Amino acid sequence: MPAHFDARETRAPTEREAALLAALPAHVRHAQTHSAAYAELLAEVQPESINSRQALAQLPLLRKSDLHARQQASRAAGGDPFGGFSTIGWLGLRHPGGARRVYQSPGPIYEPEGLAPDYWRVARALVAAGFEPGELVHNCFSYHLTPGAWMMESGAQALGCTVIPGGVGNTEQQLAAIADLRPSGYTGTPSFLRILVEKAEQAGQRLSICKALVSGEAFPPSLRDWLQERGIAAYQCYATADAGVIAYETAARQGLVLDEQVLLEIVRPGTGDPLPEGEVGEVCVSVFNPDYPLLRFGTGDLSAILPGPCPTGRSNTRIKGWLGRADQTTKIKGMFVHPAQVAEIVRRHPEVRKARLVVSGAMADDHMKLQVELHTTSATDYARLAEALAQTLREVTKLRGQVELLAAEALPNDGKVIEDVRRYD
């Protein structure tokens, strides 16, 4: 079994960082030139100036909600179904070729697949999960409209594996195929793998599957251990339909290692401001995919950077894995309050390091408290600051709330900007 997918996984971190930053200006120029959306969004940007992380952080963040809104508006006007972000398409679009398939994710959001082999870069994650060239893989992601199945299939084929297109459901038929063909690998959601294992046990069937790469939902350690007890070593990868594989688990079981074509930022929810290593925030990625050049794409997921390299020899940055959702929009007294509004309150008061809006009470009796963490060097009139913050809270959210001033480092490092602790019983 190969230890690594290629030599890039073990190169010096400084070499990787230099290569990614050196590739940024050309990638920005390509996006401006070939993508109508980025021609508009980056109209005032000089590509040659985007050659550092600091410069990258000045570009606008693109969230999934923004992508959906632009696609929806473009389709309503009879325009590009990709909202101008894709540089490939088919006859009748601005770009008349280069797309192998087009997918529909919930929203709906449409994603293109280009002609590059292993378009979503899954083969690297498969190798880390123990897959080898020539193996037979039972793929149980859905082949209906969404790209999950094709992501795994293209990665397995790029690695040199043969694929059974199992899809989801029809467990008896799938178990019959597994019994007849004896695949060694599984790709799909962890929950469906559990269903297959349980059904097989009930039928007295011993599965040939001994390894798995799972994605698409949470993979708790309890399920990982349950599968291991039944002879299946399952690993997870973190991927989206838009960005492909972002990070993947290794045999070390210590977080997830970033893919080699991903430039990662962890940003404060509700803003595009990068956070220091170890602090929980929203996963934001720039992926060097010329067909769909998403820059500073906010995934909406929370995570944090782990210090140090992976014990397997892979030298890329590691993240903790999925820690929740960044979009913590909450309805309070009939009004939606967004993380960006909490960020705006912090922006208006330089004494504040970070803040959290805690919503408590019961049904139809909501209470808001803005917990504010101050800088350690902050010297101020606390009563006046609390009064000013309460006024800003009302101005920004149109709602009244209390303010609680806290010392630096008092708030938990969990990425929460809005915490809903209301009782609904």
Strand partners, 249: 256
Q: What is the pLDDT of residue 378?
A: 59
Position 289 in a domain: no
Whether 212 maps to a domain, the answer reads no
Q: What is the pLDDT of residue 330?
A: 85
Cα–Cα distance measured from residue 21 to residue 28, given in angstroms and rounded to the nearest whole number: 11
Instruction: Report the alpha-carbon distance of residue 151 to residue 187 in Å, rounded.
Output: 10
The widest CA-to-CA distance across the chain, in whole angstroms, is 76
Instruction: With respect to residue 371, please indicate whether it lies within any of the assigned structural domains.
Output: yes
> Is residue 115 in some structural domain?
no
Q: Are 167 and 140 in contact (CB under 8 A)?
A: yes
Evaluate whether residue 53 is within a structural domain. Answer: no
List per-residue pLDDT tens for the chain, 425 residues long. 568 999 999 999 999 999 999 999 999 999 999 999 999 999 999 999 999 999 999 999 998 889 999 999 999 999 999 999 999 999 999 899 999 999 998 888 999 999 999 999 999 999 999 999 999 999 999 999 999 999 999 999 999 999 999 999 899 999 999 999 999 999 999 999 999 999 999 999 999 999 999 998 889 999 999 999 999 999 999 999 999 999 999 999 999 999 999 999 999 988 899 999 999 999 999 999 999 999 999 998 999 999 999 999 999 999 998 888 888 888 787 777 888 899 899 999 999 999 999 999 875 578 899 999 998 665 678 889 999 999 999 999 988 999 999 988 899 998 889 998 887 55
pLDDT at 364: 59
Q: What is the pTM of this model?
A: 0.85
Domain CATH number, residue 394 = 3.30.300.30
Report how many domains make up the chain: 1
What does the pLDDT read at residue 338?
84
Q: Is residue 304 part of a domain?
A: no
- Contact indicator for 25, 50 with CB cutoff of 8 Å: yes
Distance CA 369, CA 359 (A): 7
- Is 393 part of a structural domain of the chain? yes
Sequence length of the chain is 425
Amino acid identity at 71: Q
Q: Which two structure tokens, joined as six digits, stand for 134?
A: 């020539």
Give the pLDDT score at 332.
84
Asked if omega into 311 is within 30° of 0 (cis), the reply is no
Output the pLDDT for position 418.
Answer: 92
Burial 120-159 (b: 16+ CB within 10 A, else e): bbbbbbbbbbbbeeebbbbbbbbbeebbbbbbbbbbbbbb
123 φ, ψ to 5°?
-55, -40
Structural contact between residues 119 and 244, judged by C-beta atoms closer than 8 angstroms: yes
pLDDT score at 1:
54
Domain span including residue 354:
330-420
Considering only CA atoms, which of 257, 341, 264, 339 is closest in space to residue 299?
264
CA distance 382 to 405: 8
Q: What pLDDT, on the 0 to 100 scale, is given for residue 65?
A: 85
Residue 396 lies in a domain: yes
Contact 250, 223 (CB under 8 A): no
Residue 198: φ, ψ to 5°: -65, -45
